[in-house]
Structure formats: structure tokens, C-alpha cells
Structure 1
Amino acid sequence: MLRLPCPLLLAVGLLWGPLVGCGGGDTSPAVDAGPPPPDAGPPDAGPPDAGPLDRVPPIVTSHAPASGAVAVPPDRRIELVFSEPMQTQEGLLQLLPETAFPDNGRVKVRPQDWDASGRQVSFAFPGGLPLETEVTVTASQFLDVAGNPLPAAFTFRFTVSDGQPPRVTATTPSEGASRVPLNTAQVSFTFNEPMDTRVGSLAPQGGLTLGPATWADARVLTAPITSTLVNNGQYAVRLEGFRNVHGQAFSGVPTLGDGKLDFGTGPDLTPPTVVSASPAEGARDVATEYTTRVVLTFSEPMKKSVGKAELVDGSTRTVLSPLWTGDGFSVSYDVTFLLRHNAALGIALTGFQDAVGNALDPKPYLGNGVLDFRTVLDTTRPYLESSNPVDDAQDVYPAEVYLTGGTPATGLRKRFTFVFSEPMDTSVSRVTLHETASPGTFRSFNGTWATDRRTLTVTVTAVATGQLPVAETRAYYMDLTGLKDAAGNTVETTFPGPGGDGRIGFLTLADLPWLDHACAHALAVTPTAVTATATFSGASPRTDALHGHYTVTLPGGNGSFTGYTRMRLGFERLYHAFLNREVPLEVTDATNGAVLEVTLEPVPSACNELTHMATFRSTANPELRARFGPAPAAAFRLVLEEHD
């Protein structure tokens, strides 16, 4: 309706009034009705203004099932949530496939399908959603309260499950497997539908331990095996608390049956192999001076009581002694000084078996059953590893008493022993002995090499009968620089440490003639056996023959032996009782009971048969009482000498 301005209407009214009031002139005027009613506003103004009109269309903000969802339970409701309140009597769902639903899939919304807010509508299907079917949902004809429709039909799809609980369709190892390899690294489970990855745990049994389980995707679960599988082991993994993404609990049927994965390893039928070696198979740069052991590592524990390893050097085969690790996985062989330089060598293996008797399969690593390698040329100079005496020794006894095997029965010599870092050229054995104060004064000697080709023994003899092999209280050095190793390298003269200059220096002690004499008796005279008594008496045996050699047996037990002998010696003379080991000696005057002073001390190495000397001076009374012990062993040797 056209609305006119109020001033214009008022003017028309004033003009129109006199005109309509006229009529024949005799009509009386109308009765005054009083003041006009209040102005209600412009004519046809309509109701008061309620604000701008709602012209915004509603939209679907969420829905269930989700678009693309799979394994949707057949009893699931279809739900739509809108952006604003809707008219509860308007709306249509079209479901495909049409034939799977009543009314060809047409579902008309009803007011009771809505929640109190009018924004969420839910549809139930008493007969259930069609099993294992992709359902397409198209929503249309929905209106908001202002009458605005959806901007377009809204469509989404999902797939309905088979109606069964989620289950495992495949496992690693396979359910019920009985010969699972010992090196199996993990267990895995494949489900038939997406699972809720936030819940569920794996419970290993039978001594099996697993690391943290991880989901490759929502269908595949894996867990590393962290324990060692053993032969004939029976293992299981129980699945606890698993459910699918729709909250339906896991069922072990049909793959697992009892809800756990069961498997066993069975007997060991796998042959062992060599997995590594040092030197490595085919190595061509092996340095013999740095290769003291050959080490073989196997794929599994081996039987330590069988198997032979031989060092093959051309036509020569040397059996090696094994040293196994406690777990039986590795064995090593000492090849110190057995490897020739610049040679093709091998370690031949025969008869090896694993712990249950499977024979070694050499092919994967060794091929022909022999660990083959080649050594390099020897360019390293030998050096002195040790010596007797040691370098710069200050206590070298000048003589060694030994049995000559002829006449006289004993003689004097001095032997020196030198051990080198590697096998030497045994055709070269000449060394020189020099006086330090007069290097030009020297004697030459040919040593004798031991079978190890590393140990040289040099025997120094006296220049003339009655002389010592080396002079007493004099400084000497033995020059070894003329020697060389098997490859011809001469002895190192700048090696750090004792003897590193190729020389061994030493200082001799003063000679002890009575010690040399006692050694001669200890070596050449058959000992007289005596048994000491537990208490001193006339029955105690005598041990007082000068130059005599005795084997004395003491009474006692439990590591403590003590006994008595008798001695009748000269008037106030000095005596030495030489012993083959440390045995305490107490000498008492048998007449007055006075205890004589006895000094017991070690002696220089004049012979191996005597190690200690007890010295005492006799009294005016010739009869003496000797008590030996306590000692840790019953028997010892004794040679008695008078100090002239």
C-alpha cells in the first residue's frame, strides 16, 4: 500500500470537510464526537519491525557414519547435524541401494526423529543396515525454521560390516606353526577391519618377550621379539582388550580360536654356518706379527667337543688347539709364530657340528670349507722381548755348577737366554760378550736356538780350567745385533725398553766358593735319607757329615712339619747348611741348652738344587741339637759345609 505523508493528509482533510458537510443547507450538523484518537502511525504500517529477514541456507556440519567409513555395524543409526534449527516435519533421506531398504530407500523425516535443539536428526533401521554393502545417503528437502532449504542435496557413503565382531585374518608366525625359525624377528596380526589403535595389549607366554607394539595402519599390528627363541619351544601371544573403531570387541574366532597366537619352533634341523672370521675369508694383507689368533664365529652355538681346525701351509698341516667362548658361538686358535710371511695359508675345518648335531655347512662363507688368506712380506725388524738375566741386572752370579757327564763330574758355566719378538734365522747364532770398561775385550759364542726359533741360549765357559766363566764384580754386555729374523731383518737397535739397543748389560756378583762346592755335592752325590724325630733324643739321626748330601723327612701334618737331628761338629767353627728350600733352623748346645745364632738367607743362583743357606758357629761343646721347621712340607735337601 502507498503511504502518504501526514501533512498532506491533514491538508486534504481540512479541505474535504466543508465540502462533505454541505447538503441542501437544511441539514443540521453532525454531533461532535470529541477529540480524534491518538495517531497510531502511518496507515497500513503493519506490525512492529522484527529485524532483518533470515535468508541464510542451513548446511550439514557433521554426520555419522563418517564419509568413507568401513565396517560400520549394521545396527548403527544414521545421524545428521545441521548448522541451525530446522523444521522438524520437513526432510527426506534417499538411501542406495534402494532395494536394500523399505520404500525403495526413501525415508521421510518425522518430528520425533529430532533432538530438542532441532539441529540433530537421527534415523534408526529396525531391520538393520544391509550387511557388507556400500550405502549412499542423500539428504534433501530439509528447511530451516525460516524456510530456507539446503543449498544442495548432501551426499555421503559408508560400508556396512558383516555383522560379526572384528577378528584376525592373518598372523606372523602362522597360527599353530610348529617349525618357526629361531631368527624370527617379530609377531604381526592383520585384522579384517580398522581397529581402535588406542586400546588393546599383547600378552606373550611360554618365555617369549616382546618389544612395544606398533600399528602399521589401523588393521596391522606388529611387535618385535626381544627374547631368544629356542628349539622345541612352545610360545603364545594373547590379544587383550582390542576393539574396532566402532567400539565392538575383538573375537578370536576363526583364525585364533582361543584368542591367542600359538606357535612352536620344533627341532633344530638347520645346519650351522660360519658368519664371520678374523682374518676374513679371502684376506690378502694379513700381517703375521699382528695376527696371534684366528677367530671363527658361527650362526648358532656349536658342540665344543667335536671339530678339527688345521693350519694349511702348502703340504704341511698343523692341528690347532681350540678355545671356545662360553656360549659356543665363537672359537679361536693360537697361531702365534705359526704363520709364514708372504704365503697363501688356510684354516681347514672338518667335523664341526652345532649343539644338536647338525653338521657345519661351509658354503655360505667358506665355500670349500677352508678359511683362505694370504700374509704380507716381513719388513719388521725383530726386537728382544725378554732375557735372563734382564738388561742392567746388578746381581748376576758369575758361575753355574752343572753335571758334565764325564770327569770331573761337575763344571762351571754361565748360561744366558734371550727371547725375540718373532721367529729368527736359526742359521745365525753368533753373539759377542764384551767387558763394559773395555769394549774391545770380548769373546764370541754360538748360541743354540730352541724349536720355537725365538729363544736363543748362549753358554759362556771359562777361558781356562779353574777360572770362572765371567769375572766376579765386573760389568759386561752381550751384543746381539748380529742376529736376524727369518726374513733377514736385523735386530732392532732403537726399540724402547730394556735391550732395545740390541745389547744386554749386567754386573756380576762376588763368587762364593763354598756355594759352588755345595752345588757340586748336591748335583753329584746321591742323598742319604734320614727321618727326623718329633723330640730330641739319642735316637735322633745324625746330619753332620761335611760335604754330605741328605734328604731329611720331618714329622707333622696339616701343612706344618718339625723335627730334630743331631750334629757333632768341630770346636768353634763356622758352618753353612745349604738347603733346597726355605726351612727354619734352630741349633742348640746339647750340653748347656744354649741357643746358637743362626742366619737364614737366600743364596745366588749357582745351581737349581740349592736356594737357601743357614749359617752358624759351633761352640766348645761338640754335641749340637738341630731343629728344622716348622715347614709347610715334610721333605727337604741338606748339604753341610765348613767355612775354611
Structure 2
Amino acid sequence: MRRVSIFVLCTAFLALTLSTGCGGGGEEGPPDSGTPYVPPVPDAGPPDAGPKPDAGPLDLAPPVVLSHSPEANATGVPPESFIEVNFSEAMQTSRGTLQIIPGDGLPNNGLLVARPEYWDVTRRTVRFSFPLGLPLRAFLTVNLANFADVAGNVTQGFRTFAFTVSDGVAPSVSSTSPSEGASSVPLSTSEIVINFNQPMDTSVGTLVPGGGLSLGTPSWTGNQALRAPITSTLVNNGLYSVRLENFRNINVKAMDGAPYLGDGKLDFGTGPDTIAPTVREASPVEGATNQQYESTRFVVFTFSEPMDTNLGMAELVDGSTRTPLATSFSGDGFTVTCDAQFKLRPGATLRVELTGFKDRAGNALVTTPFLGSNGALDFTMAPDTVKPYVTQTNVPEGATDVYPVEVFSSAGNPGYRKVFTFRFSEPMDPSVTLVTLHDAQLPSSFRNLAGVWSPDRLTMTLTISPPSSGLPPIEADKLQYLELNRLKDATGNLLDTTIPPLGDGRLNFRTLLNQRELNHACEHAETQGPLLVTATSSVTAGTPRSDVLHGLYELTLPGSGNTFSGYTRAQLITNQTQPIFMNGAPELTVTDPASPQTGIGVTLLPVPPACPSITHEARFGTVASPLNLRFSHGQQRLRIVLEDTY
């Protein structure tokens, strides 16, 4: 509180005296002509007697306690706590007492006097510390007295509050799930649970997983149970850990990791796998009826855990017939797929048996109870009412460039044929093989042909031979078709004549002209051994000849990489067109030795597929003889046949 200035008090007293005068009520005498009266200067007191006259209103209000710590009636107060009091205004820092009852074991028996170093910079908060701690498990009463603000106003009466001190024991983990040190934790474990023995500060603390373990966001149940979901996949023989960092109780006492965890970590393992795998899902489902034949290509099983992908057999059982099914596992080993396409008999009651399957730890598969008491997948097929159809042909529907001849070798002798293949949507009746070849301009003119079925009855191969000696297998330069509408599937459904690629049950095509020179060259190429000739890089006296008509030559060209070029010579009949058939498309340069700088025109064209050994034909005029032939090719070896003209 500010002190009233003595100067102000003296001035006020003098003014009062002058206004009342002295003596009776007579007239005043003349003014004193002496020295005027000068009031004495008031005694201002010592330098620290108070503020200057403009210091403001007087402070007469006592200070008030706003808060204190611990709070009144607090329990579980840590023994390392301090006692703190907050006042409403700046205080004198060398006065005020704090008495703790009982004071046994406390400094000065619990009677403490505030010192300047106890206060904060605002002089509103005082803090009393206890280096040896508050007495454990004690109920303490605190009395505050004789605290004064800077104006000297003293707190009125006593301010009293009480609290209970805890036992001072740090919080610890009381139990966990999985339990500490568990060695056979199930792989299905979905979360970590940690229980504490004291209320905890839920705003701090971190779980640090180890050993390949991953955890989701932890959550508290109350303030003593912490849960965290496991987000990674547990594996057998895994060793996992969860380290607890920066956990503390509600009194800010740090967690002690030793009592339950030993090292502050939750450690557990999954141990070896001793659980037998089971079937979890199957397609078709167990007991399915009316299973559609056309839409059931695979039988699929899903297991409860990853399996050994090198073990196991699946068998389709149809009455007394047992058919092994090809199997393939998914990458994670959980699913096996059995290829049953075209093996499921329409209308039949079937089952698929699994034998020899084991998980990766060697535990044998248990198929019951999911697959029923017999441990097999049982289902019934619906009758087949869907018509078969052609899915693929080697000759495209509507082709206009079908060569009428294919030259082949049979025991070293040339033969002529034409081969057509047809792929069907499902297995066909192998007893039906009749296909007819028709002249499109005269449909009543046809040939009966017999196809041959593949073992799976999905492919028919139709080989057409010449109708008589000297003729091609099928007529040249003619629009024709093959009629397949008599074919049917295994249950008797006739061929569907509306589905592409055939659409009408016929393969329609047009043949090219027959080329006798090409056919004859193919006979040599398919049946003869080649004459070996090494070409020279330039024309010399040693340049070899390659001019025997109907002879098959294999030229070796000089060069490297993919660039090869060499010369041969040819002594040919002059003034005619000479064909050379080849198994490649080299650049051919023909020159007259008399005019080596002037090339003779050469025509190079691809040929129809009469045989696999010949792909191109070159023709040139024999304006002179002999001629130099220069072959430039991307490969070192080239086969050629010089043929007569017809």
C-alpha cells in the first residue's frame, strides 16, 4: 500500500489553522507588515518512506490465494512433488510461513519460511521443494500464514488444505496378452493388450514393435489398459517384441519396465506349426447340383493356410473311373486350381478327392468337416444341351489365297496333300468323322473325306490327297467349301452353324493357280540331300558352279555378323527365263563376265506355301552363258534349287 506524503498532511493542517483564526470575534487589525510567514517544509521521512505524491490510490486490500498444488484432498501425490501457492498479486518475498502437519521427517519439522529464491519472477508464485521427498503414504495438512503483499497487507487468517502422499512406487505392467515370454502364440492373434498396475497418463507413451511385427494405432480402455491391433501377418517360429517407451502414471512417475517385462519389452514367439490345414472354400461348392458343363473349367480349393506347393494330387472320380487333374497353386500357397475342362461328364454325379496335400510345416490336410464325411468335393453336372462350334481353323474363313498343294516327304519320296485343321469348343463324338468338299459353283459335286480326331477330341485333322495321279489334292483356281455340319459333340448335340468363325458350318475358300515349277522344286528340297558349295568373295578362276538343274544346293557365303555375300557361276541354256527357288530372300545380282559392270534384271517374289523349304523365287533372263551369280544375304547359309521352266 502506498504511504501518504507528510508534505501533503502538513499543508492540509496549515490550511485548516488559517481558516479558523485565533482569539475572539473582534475586528481584525491591520496586516502585519513584517516578513511574511512561510510554512516549514514537511518532513518527507527517509528515502524509502513511500511513493511520490502522484503514486495513485492507496492499496488497503489483503492478497488472496488463487490456487495451490497439490489440490485440496488430492490422493496419490508423488513423494517427489513440491508445494506451490499462487497469489493474486506481487508479494513480499521474505515473509510468509508454510506449516506441514505432521512435520516428522521434514525440514524444521515442517515449519518453513518463504525465501526470495522460492518465488518466480512475478513474485506471485512461491514453491517449496523437499529434496528428501514427502513422507510416504502420509496424510498431510498444510497451513499458510503471514504472507503479505508489497504494500504490507497480510493474508487474513489461515489458508489450510490437505492431501495424501502415495507410496512412491513407479507404475509397471501387470499383465499382457500375449503374455510375456509366450512361445506358442497362435497365428490368428489379432491384437496386443497391455495392462498397467496404476492409472496412466494416456497422452504419452509409444509402442515400438520389433521382429517384423507391425501394429496399428493404439487405444486406451480407461487409463490402465492399452490395446494395439496387429496389422502384419504372424508366421510360424517368429520371434516378436514390443518395446514400451516414455510411459508414465498420472503423477508423472515414469514406468518401471522391470517388474513384469524384465527388459521393458513384451517378448513372444509363435513357435512351430502343429495345426493341420483345412479346406475353407471350394468351387463348385460342396453338394452343388445342376453344375453347368460349359462354364465349369476349373475346380478350385482354398485352404486355411499356405500349403507345400510341391505336394498333393487331385483326382476326378466318375463311378469307377479315376482321372488325375493337373493342379497349380497360387503364389501365396492358399489356393489350388484343378484343370477339369472337358473332363466333367454332363449329367454325372462326380467327386474330386484330394490326397497328399500338406502345409509348409508338414501337417497333413484335413478335408472334413468342410467337404463332408467322405472328405471329397461332391457335385452333380447338368445335362449338356449346348451345341459345339468351331473356334479355330488353320485356313481362315473366306481365304482367297489357298494353295492347292502341300509337298511332303514320305520315306524319302515326295507326296502331295492338303491339310485342314479344326478346333472345337468341346470334346466331340470321335465316331463321326465325315466332312465333304464341295465346288461352290456346283454344290452337288462333292467329295467325301474322313477327318482324324486328336486324343482329347477337340481337334480334327483333315488330310486331302489327290483324287488321282497327276492332279493336285484340291482343284486350283476355284471357289470351294468344306461342310462340317454332320459333326456332333459327345452327348449328340450337332454343330452350331451360327457362331463364327464359320458361321454357316462351312469353311469357304478360294484356291490359287497351281505352279508346277514350284511343286517340282519342293520335291527336290524336301527329299534330296544338298550339294555343298562355298561361294567366293569375288569372281576368280576358283569360283564354284551352282547350275545343275533340279539340284538342291546349300551355299556358304563369306562375311560376318548379319552381312554375307559371295559368287557362284552358272552355265545355262541361253535366251530363256531361268527360275531359282530359295529358302530365303537374298539380293541376287546376275552379270555377264563379258560385261561385269552391267547387271541383268532379276525379279524376286515370295511363293505360296507349297513346302516349308522354299519361300522365294528369283527369275532372270539367260542372255549369255556362263553367268556370274552374286548372292547377298543376312545369313551365312542359303539353299537354292534351279528348276526347268514348264
TM-score by length of 2: 0.72
Say yes or no: does 1:214 pair with 2:216.
Answer: no
- Aligned match of 2:261: 256
Alignment equivalent of 2:405, drawn from 399, 405, 414: 399
**Cα offset, 1:405, TM superposition:** 6.1
Match of 1:428 in 2: 432
- The counterpart of 2:230, out of the listed 225, 228, 235, is 225
Note if 1:638 corresponds to 2:640.
Answer: yes
- Which digits, 9 at most, give the CA deviation of each residue in 1:126-148, with x for residues without a partner? 65547xxxx9x9xxxxxxxxxxx
CA distance in 1, matches of 2:176, 2:639: 81
> Counterparts of 2:360 and 2:605 in 1: how far apart (Å)?
57
SS where residue 595 of structure 1 aligns? Answer: strand
Contact 1:306 1:352 in 2 (8 A): yes
Percent identity between the two aligned chains: 48
Judge conservation of contact 2:135–2:165 (CA < 8 Å) in 1. no
Structure 2 counterpart of 1:246, one-letter code: N
What residue in structure 1 maps to residue 525 of structure 2?
Answer: 522
1:488 and 2:483 correspond: no
The equivalences for 1:240-639 within 5 A come to 240-363=245-368, 365-366=370-371, 370-403=376-409, 409-495=413-499, 497-523=500-526, 525-535=527-537, 536-593=539-596, 594-621=598-625, 623-632=626-635, 634=637, 636-639=638-641
Query: Shift of the alpha carbon at 1:385?
Result: 0.3
- What do you get for the CA RMSD once the two structures are aligned? 4.7
Q: Distance in 2 between matches of 1:556 and 1:603?
A: 27
Residue pair 2:564, 2:633 contacting (<8 A) in 1 also: yes
Once the two structures are superposed, residues 110-159 of structure 1 have per-residue CA deviations (whole angstroms, 9 ceiling, x without a partner) of 9x9xxxxxxxxxxx9965547xxxx9x9xxxxxxxxxxxxxxxxxx9x99
Contact 2:183 2:270 in 1 (8 A): yes
| 2-structure distance, mates of 1:333, 1:564 | 60
SS in 1 for 2:520: helix
- Residue 279 (structure 1) shift: 3.3
Can you list the C-alpha shifts for 1:339-393, whole angstroms capped at 9, x where unaligned?
Answer: 3222333443333343444444444645656444433221211111011211111
Instruction: Give the letter aligned to residue 191 of structure 1.
Output: F
Q: For 2:261 and 2:340, locate their aligned partners in 1 and report how far apart those are by CA, in whole Å.
A: 56
What is the SS of the residue equivalent to 2:480?
strand
Secondary structure at 2:643 match in 1: strand
Cα separation, partners in 2 of 1:332 and 1:556, compared to 1, 3 Å: farther
Contact 2:204–2:248, Cα closer than 8 Å, also in 1: yes
Contact 2:428/2:489, CA 8 A, preserved across alignment: yes
Displacement, 1:65? 7.4
- Cα deviation digits, residues 56-99 of structure 1 (max 9, x gap): xxxxx9998799x98665888999xxxxxxxxxxxxxxxxxxxx
The answer on 1:175 being equivalent to 2:180 is yes
1:641 Cα deviation from its structure 2 partner: 0.7
Where does 1:62-81 land on structure 2 (aligned, <5 Å)?
Answer: none
In the TM superposition, residue 397 of structure 1 has moved relative to its aligned partner by: 1.1
Deviation at 1:485, TM superposition (A): 0.9
SS state of the match for residue 294, structure 2?
helix
Separation in 2 of the partners of 1:499 and 1:284?
34
* Maintained 8 Å contact 1:209/1:227: yes
Deviation of 1:534 (Å): 4.1
Q: Is the 8 A contact 2:578 2:645 kept in 1?
A: yes
- Equivalents in 1 of 2:355, 2:384: separation in Å? 31
Distance 1:251 1:318 in 2: 66
State how far apart, in whole Å, the 2-side matches of 1:366 and 1:582 are.
Answer: 63
Assess, with a 3 A threshold, how the Cα gap between structure 1 residues 342 and 404 changes in structure 2: closer, same or farther: same
Unaligned stretches of 5+ residues in structure 1: 1-60, 80-100, 103-109, 113-123, 138-155
- Mapped partners of 1:319, 1:569: distance in 2: 65
Q: Relative to structure 1, is the Cα distance of residues 451 and 570 closer, same or farther in structure 2, using a 3 angstrom cutoff?
A: same
Q: In 2, Cα distance between the equivalents of 1:404 and 1:386?
A: 28
Q: Which residue of 1 aligns with 2:127?
A: none
1:324-343 deviations in Å (ceiling 9; x for gaps): 44444434343332332223
1:316 and 1:160 map into 2 onto residues whose CA distance is 85
- Check whether the contact 1:398–1:509 (CA below 8 A) recurs between aligned residues: yes
User: Aligned with 2:496: secondary structure?
Assistant: coil
Q: 1:187 to 1:70 in 2, by over 3 A?
A: farther
User: 2:430 and 2:181 mapped to 1: Cα distance?
Assistant: 69
Task: Report SS of the residue matched to 1:434.
Answer: strand
* Whole-Å separation in 1 of the counterparts to 2:583 and 2:351: 49
The letter of the residue matching 1:579 is M
State the 1:617 CA deviation.
2.1
Q: Which amino acid aligns with 2:392?
A: S
TM alignment of 1:5-84, pairs within 5 A: none
Measure the CA separation in 2 of the matches of 1:393 and 1:70. Answer: 99
Instruction: After TM superposition, give the deviation of residue 518 of structure 1 in Å.
Output: 1.7
Q: 1:399 to 1:63 in 2, by over 3 A?
A: same
| Cα gap change, 1:637 to 1:476, in 2 (>3 Å) | same
Q: Is the 8 A contact 1:394 1:508 kept in 2?
A: yes
Taking structure 1 as the reference length, the TM-score comes to 0.72
Q: State the AA in 2 paired with 1:180.
A: V
CA distance in structure 2 between the partners assigned to 1:467 and 1:455 by the alignment: 28
Q: Within 1, Cα distance between the matches of 2:320 and 2:582?
A: 53
SS in 1 for 2:299: strand
Mark the CA change 1:74 to 1:528 in structure 2 (over 3 Å): closer, same or farther.
Answer: closer
Matched residue type, 1:184: T
Distance 1:64 1:76 in 2: 8
User: Which moves more between the two structures, 383-392 or 585-594?
Assistant: 585-594
Cα gap change, 1:452 to 1:614, in 2 (>3 Å):
farther
Cα separation, 1, equivalents of 2:522 and 2:434:
30
SS of alignment partner, residue 619 of structure 1: coil
Contact map agreement 1:384 1:421 (CA 8 A) in 2 = yes
| Cα separation, partners in 2 of 1:65 and 1:369, compared to 1, 3 Å | farther
CA deviation profile, 1:543-589 (whole Å, cap 9, x unmatched): 22211223444455545544433321110221222223444433333
Q: Give the residue type in structure 2 aligned to 1:470.
A: I
1:236 aligns with 2:248: no
Give 3-state SS (helix, strand or coil) of 1:232's partner: coil
Report SS of the residue matched to 1:352.
coil
Task: State the 1:321 CA deviation.
Answer: 3.8
Moved more, 552-561 or 200-209: 552-561
- 1:455-484 Cα distance to aligned partner (Å, 9 max, x none): 112233444433333332222222222211
Sort the Cα spacing of 1:210 and 1:625 in 2 relative to 1 into closer, same or farther, 3 A: same
Partners of 2:440 and 2:480 within 8 A in 1? yes
- In structure 2, list runs of 5 or more residues that go unmatched: 1-66, 85-101, 104-110, 114-129, 142-161
Q: How far apart, in 1, do the equivalents of 2:295 and 2:594 lie?
A: 71
